Amino acid sequence: MTSIPSESKPTLDSIEGGNTAWVEFGFAWGLRILALSAIAILLWMGWIIFNAALPAIKTFGLGFVTRQEWDVNQLQFGAKTYLYGTIVTSAIALLFAVPIGVIVAIVTSEKFLPGWLRSILGFLIELIASIPSVIIGFWGIFVLIPFMKPIQSALHQQLSWIPLFGTETFGPSLLVAGTILAVMILPTIAAISRDVMLAIPQDLRTASLSLGATRWEMITTVLIPASLSGIIGAIMLALGRALGETMAVTMVIGNSDQISLSLLDPGNTIPSILANQFPEALDELHIGALMYLALILFALTLIINMIANSIVKKFGLKQ
Amino acid sequence: MTLEQQLTKPLSLDRRIFSSFMSAIAVIFTGLALLPLLSVLFEILRQGLPNLKWEVFTNLPAPAGDTSVVGGFANAIQGTVLMVSIAALFSIPFGIAIAVYLSEIGKSGAIAQTVRFVLSILSAVPSIVVGVFAYAVIVLSTILGYRGFSALAGSFALAVIMLPIVVLSTEEALKLVPNHQRLASAALGANSMQTVFKIVLKAALPSITTGVLLAIARASGETAPLIFTALFSQSWVEQILNPTPSLSVMIYNYSSSAFPEQTQMAWTASLVLLGLVTITNLLSRLITRKR
């Protein structure tokens, strides 16, 4: 038995701890204010960009979205060309990356391969996500464009009656930009879909297999339907990335201000025009028009990410 | 058909074909997914390695077209390190403080939920939009009598990009600290500040480092927010209010150069940058794996 030495007997004063209450209070409020300032940063960002875009918003109004001309000398600006390029390249990216990404997610979440191989595979796919996009773009110029040029020519020769392949290519094009975007968003789709699939209870799989389903029947009739909303969340997060991706697209899309039905023609996207023109923008209205484009991109990605986040959150996953 | 026959009957042909067909597709698609990665790595090593000389890390870029001197990109490395450091100096303490609030004080309260939501949104804002923000805040306004492209503007953009990564990863790290350690600390009479600094942050330090390294790796590779905030320069970095070179912008600028030696330099710079980013990523993985 140990006894408490009498001299260390706690007094009321030392328990209440004089200034401790103030430390607690100040510490909590200090941190709370810092945390709230994170919200302030997002609002500040929206406000600053909106204000800088104001000259263009006043001049062109909402019609900016459907105006096509972009003439720096005449100070006539419209977003249509860039919106078109952004949407078309993102759509191509999803077309390629969704099936491949979902299958990679299946291969890495189900027991097709031994565990060590699955984790190496997962690591390699995630490695793609960590390559800086300027390097992917650089690779795009010197490897992907030469690789895709004969493919694009063949598409044109065989299928020129389809407007999508209606023109001869000279290398950089919407199709190449979409392909490079697919490479970049594939890890997002694969990683989040895999996490969603791993969150599906093992019992569901076992039950399906014990009823006599083959592994792929289990995957197509049980696993994919059960994780579908999560996969859609993953696709939307990837779409958010594709819309805002700048460097890789800018380097391979050809940066030509035209709206062409043909995917083999060069084009331009909102991030690309921002990257190309901001360093030289001088006139207030020109800067305003670029800011207006940035504001549209900001709003677009904000909405898509909010929806995606709320879907993915249901599975208890972090982004 | 007897029960025994039913049980031993092989699967019907179409079911077997479907299964093997899908497995074949899975293998092909997974290979297809890895192809770009392997191609990028191969090409960077093939084109970048031959020019990876010591001079690359000590010399300034050679004047365009001048092949008599060995050019380097020491100034770009200097600029990248400078801008990422300034951004880290701001975003790491700020980010960790917010994470402490989220995991220790706010928990699942309304403020904490909102802050978490806003940070996940902030992490998904395209980096070019963050660049536009930095451009409007710093490049277009007058700071200390100077107006224009600067390292400061670049660092500001990078800090905004790093912040959500630091907060969200630090919060995860703090959540892993067992609650009884906090209770033990409080029972010994520590106030919440002492508990946070002496117990919680100390215990979570390795995982926090992981998140910080990931944020640094991400920021080092960013290009879009730098091309019109920091711009570029061919000389040494002298002060943070001047246009400042960076590795990533250099790769972008040289990628469309008409001079083959500049293209070669861009490959070497890609090798260095990718090495930097990959080593940082691997390091962060190793730190958490040990635990």
Could you tell me which chain B residue has the CA closest to the CA of A244?
B126
A120: its two tokens: 């190496």
Find the Cα–Cα–Cα–Cα dihedral B272, B275, B276, B280, rounded to 10°: 180
From the CB of residue A125, how many other CB atoms can be counted at a distance below 10 Å? 23
Q: Which of A13, A134, A192 to mutate to test the interface with B (most CBs of B within 10 A)?
A: A134
Task: Find all residues with CB under 8 Å of A271, minimum gap 6, and list them.
Answer: A86, A244, A245, A246, A249, A250, A297, B126, B128, B224
Among A96, A300, A125, A181, CA closest to B124: A300
**B124 chain-A contacts, CB cut-off 8 A:** 237, 240-241, 301, 305, 309, 319
Could you tell me which chain B residue has the CA closest to the CA of A182?
B33
Continuous H helices in B49-141: 74-100, 110-124, 127-134
Looking at residue A312, its pLDDT comes to 83
Quote the CA–CA distance of B65 and B259 in Å, as a whole number. 6
Q: Which of A36, A107, A247 sits opposite B224 (nearest CB)?
A: A247
Would you tell me which residues 147-186 of chain A have a C-beta closer than 8 angstroms to some C-beta of chain B? 183, 186
Flag whether residue A48 sits within 8 Å of chain B, measured between CB atoms. Answer: yes
The residues facing A76 across adjacent strands are: A71
Q: Which of A45, A132, A309 sits opposite B120 (nearest CB)?
A: A309
Residue A230: Cβ-neighbour burial (10 angstroms; 0-12, 13-18, 19+): buried
Nearest-Cα distance to chain B for A63, in Å, is 22
What is the SS3 assignment for B9? coil
Give the total residue count for chain A.
319
What is the SS3 assignment for A197? helix
Could you tell me which chain A residue has the CA closest to the CA of B243?
A279
**B30 chain-A contacts, CB cut-off 8 A:** 103-104, 107, 121
Q: Which of A52, A103, A136 sits opposite B136 (nearest CB)?
A: A52
Among A120, A318, A104, CA closest to A193: A104
Among B139, B119, B146, CA closest to B230: B139
Model pLDDT for residues B223-279, shown as the tens digit of each residue: 999 999 998 988 888 888 889 999 999 999 999 888 888 999 999 999 999 999 999
Looking at residue A18, its pLDDT comes to 53
Among B166, B82, B78, CA closest to B123: B166
Cβ A271–B128 below 8 Å, yes or no?
yes
The pLDDT profile of chain A, 319 residues, written as one tens digit per residue, is 455 555 555 554 454 555 677 888 888 899 999 999 999 999 999 999 999 999 999 999 999 999 998 999 889 999 999 999 999 999 999 999 999 999 999 999 988 888 899 889 988 988 899 999 999 999 999 999 999 999 999 999 999 888 889 888 888 999 999 999 999 999 999 999 999 999 999 999 999 999 988 889 999 999 999 999 999 999 999 999 999 999 999 999 999 888 988 999 999 999 999 999 998 888 889 999 999 999 999 999 999 999 998 888 877 665 4
Quote the CA–CA distance of B161 and B142 in Å, as a whole number. 23
Distance of CA A275 to the CA centre of its chain: 18
Q: Mapped to the 3 state alphabet, what secondary structure does A94-119 carry?
A: HHHHHHHHHHHHHHHHCCCCCHHHHH
Looking at residue A53, its pLDDT comes to 95
From the CB of residue B15, how many other CB atoms can be counted at a distance below 10 Å? 14
**B231 chain-A contacts, CB cut-off 8 A:** 279
Looking at residue B68, its pLDDT comes to 76
Looking at residue A319, its pLDDT comes to 45
* Farthest CA pair distance, chain A: 98
Say yes or no to pLDDT of B47 above 50. Answer: yes
Flag whether residue A318 sits within 8 Å of chain B, measured between CB atoms. Answer: yes
Q: Which amino acid, one-letter code, is at A184?
A: M
Helix (H) or strand (E) holding A52: helix A20-60
Model pLDDT for residues B159-205, shown as the tens digit of each residue: 999 999 999 999 999 999 999 999 999 899 888 888 999 999 999 99
Cβ B193–A24 below 8 Å, yes or no?
yes
Among A205, A297, A132, A284, CA closest to B271: A132
Flag whether residue A11 sits within 8 Å of chain B, measured between CB atoms. Answer: no
Q: Which of A14, A19, A31 to mutate to test the interface with B (most CBs of B within 10 A)?
A: A31
Quote the CA–CA distance of A177 and B156 in Å, as a whole number. 29
Q: Which of A24, A41, A319 sits opposite B191 (nearest CB)?
A: A24
Flag whether residue A215 sits within 8 Å of chain B, measured between CB atoms. Answer: yes
Looking at residue B144, its pLDDT comes to 63
State the average pLDDT for chain B.
90
Among A120, A159, A49, CA closest to B157: A49
Quote the CA–CA distance of B274 and A186 in Å, as a whole number. 19
